[in-house]
Each structure stands twice: as C-alpha cells, then as structure tokens.
Amino acid sequence: MKKFEEKIDITYSMGIIRELSEIVDNELTGNRSSASDAEHRAADFLALEMKKIGLQNVTKDECPVDRWQYEKGTLSFQDPEGHMCTVPLGGYATEADFSQETLQLIYAGKGTEKDYEGLEVSGRAVLIDIDQMNEWWINFPAYEAAIHGAAAVICCNTGGFGQTGDETLVSEDICGPCKLPVFSIGKKAAGLLKGLQEKSKEGISVCIDAKSVVERDKISYNLWGEIPGETDETIIVINHYDAYYRTVFDDVQGVGWAMGVARALIDSGYKPYRTIRFVMHASEEWGLIDNKYDWAIGAFKQIHRIRPEWKKKGFVVVNMDGGYACTGETKFNISCCKELYGFVQESILPYTEHAKYTFEADTALTTLTEDFSYELAGIPSFAAGTYDGCLADRTVLHSSWSGFQTGFDEELFRIIHSMFGKLILKLDRLAVRPVDFTIRIKEIADTMPEGYAEGQEEFQKLAALAGDIHTSIEDINDRLRSVRQTEALKEAAKDTNLALHEIFKYLMQNYVKFDWNDRMLVPHQRYVDNIKLLDRADRELTEANRAGVISALEAVDYNYYASYFSRETCRYFVLQVTENTADTWGKGMVENGNQDLYDTLRLLEAEGGMMDTDVIRKNISDARKMQTSYLETAIKKEREQLPELSGLMKQAQICLSELGKLAAI
C-alpha cells in the first residue's frame, strides 16, 4: 500500500480529464453522447491510453445502443433595446433540425395542463420553467407540450440542478419520446424572453439554429483493460466516459481517477491475486429512445448481454462515478449495497477523521448508478458519492458550469485516489467476499405489517443464519491473510465465493423491486406504504382536510402527476413502464401497475369536490382492497421462495466450514 501511495500522480489523472473533456460533438456547448462521433473518438483515445500505462487485454466491446449527436443549438432574438442577442441552447436527446428558422415563442409557466389554458401554442416554441430535482422530470412537461402541438420546448432550470450563474445550461436524459425538440436555456436569456412576452401576448419572434440527431440501433463501445491476477475472480472497477457539456466531473473525473489508480498499481509493481479489471462504459447518461430507464444502458448491456461470463467471476464492483472534487464540497459518502456496508465502513476509518473532509459509508446505493446492473448480475458493489442536495448537484452536475473554471479540489482528488486504491488492494487480499446478508434479510422481516408474524419469524431465523455466515466470513478473512498458500485453499475459496454470489444474486432478483420513483425496496414494502397512505387519506377525509387527502393520494404510486398533467400525459408514462418491454435493467421491476387515482384527485381539486365524500371514500376503499390483495400475494411469494434461499445459504455455510478447516491447517 505504501508503494501504491508513492506512485499516485494526480497530474497524470488530471491530464486525462483535461484531454477527454475536450473531445466533444458540439464546439459551442460540448457533449459526448451515446454512439456519437465524439464518443467514438474518446473510445479510441482511452483504449490507446490504457495500453500506454500497461493494462493488459485492452478491448473495445461493441455495444448496441441508440445514438444521439447534438451538433449545434442557438437561439436569437431582439432584446428590449432592439439589439440582436444570440444565446446557446443546451440539448436533450430529441430530434431537431432548425436551420435559422423563425418561430413564435410563448411562455407557458411550468408547462402543466393548467398553464396551457387560454394559450395557443400549436406550431410555436414554448418556454417553461423547470425544477427537475424537486418537482418533475422534463418528460412530463415535454409530452404535455407535444399534446398541445408545440414545435419545440425550451426549458429554464429555475431550481434544483445548475443553479450557479444566470447563463448556466442544464441537460438530463429525456425519459420520453424523441420527436419533439427540447432545449435548455440560461436564466438571464429566459428572463429577457419572459419580459418581452409580457408586452406581446401573441408571442415573440425567435430564430432557432439547431441540429440534434437521434437514431435507433447504432454501435458504441465499452472499453476495458486489466491487471491480470493468479485467478479469474475479478475486482471490477467501473465508470463512464460519455458526458454532458465539457464537464470535468460526471464522469470524466472518474475516468481520470481510474486511470490514475491503474497506473499507480502497475508502476508500484503490485502483482494481484485477483484480476483487477478497469471498465469504462459508454451510454450512461442516455442510450435508449423513449424509455423510463434510458440511462446506464452501456453497463447493463456489458454485464448482461456482451460479457455475461463475468457474472460468476465478479468479486466486487467498485464504481468511481461520484465523489466529485468540486471546490467547497467537504462532505462525501460511499454508497454501498447493504451487504458491503460493514466492510466499507471499517475500511475507510483512517479517512473519517480528516480535518477538512467528512467521509462516511451508507446503504443509500440507488438505481441511479451503473453498478445496479452488476448487482442484478450477482456482484455486490459500492460507489463514490455525495449527499442529496450537495454542492455538486446544485452546480456542476449535467451543467455547462462544470469545467475546471468552477473550481477543482486537487487535495480531495488525491485523497480519493488513495482511498479507493487501498479499498481495491484490501479486497484483493481477502480470501472470501466480505458480504453480510443480515441487513437485507432483517429488512424483509421488519417491513412486514401486523398480521404476518409467522412470516416475520421465518425471516428472522434466516437473518440469524446470515449472521452466522458473516461471522464465519470475518473469522476466515482475519485468519487467512492469503489464499495463495495451497491449491486446495484456492479452490475452496473460489467455491465459497461462488456460493455467496448465488445468494446475493437470488436476493437481488427475488427480493428487490422498484416503487414508481425507482426506489429499491422489498417487494411487499410498496404495498405496505400505499396502504398507510390510503389510510391517512381516509382519516384526512373524515377531518374534511382536502389538502391532506390530496397530499396522501398523490404519494400513492405515480399519482403525483395527476394533479398537474393531463390524463393523456399521465397515461403515456404509466404505459411506458407497464407495457414498454425494452431490454433494460428496469424491466419487470415495477409490478402490478399504477394504482390509478387520477379521477379521485381531479374530483378533489374541482370546486365543490369535497361534496362527493362518499364517492371519494369508496374510491379510497377500493384502492386499499387492491393494495391489500397485492400485499398478500407478495408476502406469499416471498415466503415460498424462502426454502430455496435458505438452501443457498446452507450451501455457503458448508463451503465456509470446509474452507475454515483448510485455513486451520
């Protein structure tokens, strides 16, 4: 570890960042999007660099994705003094082909259904305000605009992401159809346009010059190179090299950081036991037309379609997408799957009392990062991270204000090289995968509602078995500092790790589902939460608290949007999840559709809506019965799967016992 530390050279890592950030599709705003020309050039650059630093078996895997290339985007208009202004437009993965085309522009508030009342926007561009962090994603107001015949949507991020400066542009994945052009504009220009609009109720003339190409079924490349070990068990280090704008953060920083760690390991002369594979994915920010799960496509394809043979050999995934070195950011976390929390928490203790920075581990790993696809494949993971509402989210993330000029903390950058490099080295020294299934299995038991005592008891017993397995893992890893001693030890350790892989995969594939906000949870937990919300709505109705009823019902499944967008828009995005069978990491993760309370919410919001309390109460009661039925089915299935899960755990216990005997010799 000392030799590794001595070989860390962040000047090299930052050189990679600097060069990669300038490989772009659009000279004005940047971007390096899925299967675009710039992404292809970046793949060639990184593959060559991998070879230069000494990584072996460097490979460019073809990855089938949808293509987006944002070639240009500007908007021109006359300011209040009569001067012609031309401002850049940020892009979304939508089709656009405007060659100095003049359009009328109408300001449409937040782009909700009510905002279009009294507006004629057919064939015109609409300007809307949006806060994608706290209100809704771009797909809902964009689809609403399309229903009203708009020719383009131009959004201004008035809250949430990209809140540094008045000229900052923000882009996100579209999560919807690509036919309606969608762009981003800075707050200063948007303010001028709104002022002009107030003086001209018929709209104002703007000139759009933009080209954005979206095409199905193209090819991108996932890159990888490795430091070969004595075994084909693999520590997989991942990041992605596509990006918005000319960012040096998401995840260009991760690429430079990974290359820096790889180079330091190689230059230190380290000979790993496990193969350490560095994988750089394409198409993370976006890679699939008209799908709710349109991000992390490159990672999903890599582990599930291109290299499925990696699944059983993967030891742990280390995701270097996050922990952005923004000047002023001082609080960081490492988000772990529940099974690796204890290992990571203990491993980063030397860094937790740093005078300037706070580092913590948590179990807040989400579906937002690429490692989730690897978890579904049975490989536990952890990822660099920051906190909700952190400085990076509000400033640099997916924004044009994300170059070195925003402030790059080199001291922090060096620390995370050291921290993650040492985590990799520690993982390589372990005989057994350092997993603890207790937290996840206890969660299954603890989230069961009253009336399911037998099911709770069954899973509590299984949690006790999981605790015994974890104790055995820790004992072996403490006593057995190397499995290189004998071939018998190597084979026994490999068998044990494969048995632990099967448990983790079974848990992920059978005891993890999504709610409608893509939150991972135990399958029955969604219905428990919905029933509590419906009971709350019923109590609020009894108290004649209309706002309370609405608040509770909006939180059930996907009903938040019912208060703001048309039925057609809401229906489209429900069907996108329930009937769009595209090959993604989200397929089948939301069960039993959406509990449709659209009409109930609209009735409540209408004038005199509280007069129909009998109708509202019946609708709430019917919804509760349905959710109760789903709950019963979910728990029944979870209990039916328990013997198979228990069998896998007992097999792992046998493997650990055999390995323990060999370790004692």
| pLDDT value, residue 593 | 96
Q: Which two tokens stand for residue 92?
A: 């979304």
Tens of pLDDT, residues 311-321: 999 999 999 99
- Residues with Cβ within 8 Å of 365's Cβ and at least 6 positions away in sequence, in order, are 335, 336, 337, 371, 372, 375, 381, 382, 383, 520
Give CA–CA dist 381/257, Å, rounded. Answer: 18
At 211, list the tokens: 């080209």
- Global confidence as pTM: 0.97
Amino acid at 485: Q
CA 587 to chain centre: 15
| pLDDT at residue 200, rounded to an integer | 77
Residues 524-540 have pLDDT tens digits of 999 999 999 999 999 99
Report the 10 Å Cβ neighbour count for 607: 6
Between strands 56-78 and 152-157, the pairing is unpaired
Angle 10-21/252-267 helices, nearest 10 degrees?
140
Residue 9, pLDDT score: 98
Which pLDDT does position 385 carry in this prediction?
84
Can you give the pLDDT at residue 310?
98
What number is the average pLDDT over the span 501-517? 98
Reply yes or no on whether the pLDDT at 199 is more than 90. Answer: no
Confidence class for position 177, pLDDT limits 50, 70, 90: very high
Average pLDDT of the chain is 96
Q: What's the pLDDT tens digit per position in 575-598?
A: 999 998 899 999 999 999 999 999
More confident residue, 391 or 318: 318
Lowest pLDDT segment from 22-31, 256-265, 319-328, 474-483: 474-483
DSSP per-residue string spanning 449-513: PTT-HHHHHHHHHHHHHHHHHHHHHHHHHHH-S-S-S-HHHHHHHHHHHHHHHHHHHHHHHHS-E
Under 8 Å between Cβ of 4 and 414: no
Q: Has residue 483 got a pLDDT over 70?
A: no
What confidence score (pLDDT) does residue 471 get?
98
Q: Supply the pLDDT for residue 1.
A: 87
For the cut 90, the answer to whether the pLDDT of residue 484 exceeds it is no
Note the pLDDT tens digit of each residue in 207-226. Answer: 999 999 999 999 999 999 99
Strands 84-88 and 182-185: unpaired
Pairing of strands 314-319, 358-362: unpaired
350-365 pLDDT per residue, tens: 998 788 999 999 998 9
How far is C-alpha 191 from the chain's CA centre?
Answer: 32
249 or 385, higher pLDDT: 249
Q: DSSP letters along 148-217, please?
A: TT-SEEEEEE-SSS--SSSS--B-----S-SSS-EEEE-HHHHHHHHHHHHH-TT-EEEEEEEEEEEEEE
Residue partners of 228: CB distance under 8 A and separation at least 6: 56, 57, 272, 275
User: Residue 480 has what pLDDT?
Assistant: 84
Mean pLDDT over residues 270-289, rounded? 98
Give the percent of the chain with pLDDT over 70: 99
- Say what the pLDDT of residue 267 is: 98
Quote the pLDDT of residue 482.
Answer: 67
Please check whether residue 420 is in contact with residue 259, taking contact to mean a CB–CB distance below 8 angstroms.
no
Provide the sign of the torsion angle of the four alpha carbons 520, 524, 527, 529, taken in this order: negative
Residue 201 has pLDDT above 80, yes or no: no
Please report which confidence band the pLDDT of residue 80 belongs to, taking 50, 70 and 90 as the band edges. Answer: confident
Average confidence (pLDDT) over 381-386: 91
From the list 142, 64, 157, 129, the residue with the least C-alpha distance to 96 is 142
Write the CB contacts of 496 (distance below 8 Å, at least 6 apart in sequence): 432, 433, 652, 655, 656, 658, 659
Which residue, chain included where needed, has tokens 């991108």? 220
Instruction: Tell me the two tokens of residue 66.
Output: 């949808």
Residues 47, 58: contact at Cβ < 8 Å? yes
pLDDT tens digits, one per residue of 39-75: 999 999 999 999 999 999 999 999 999 999 999 999 9
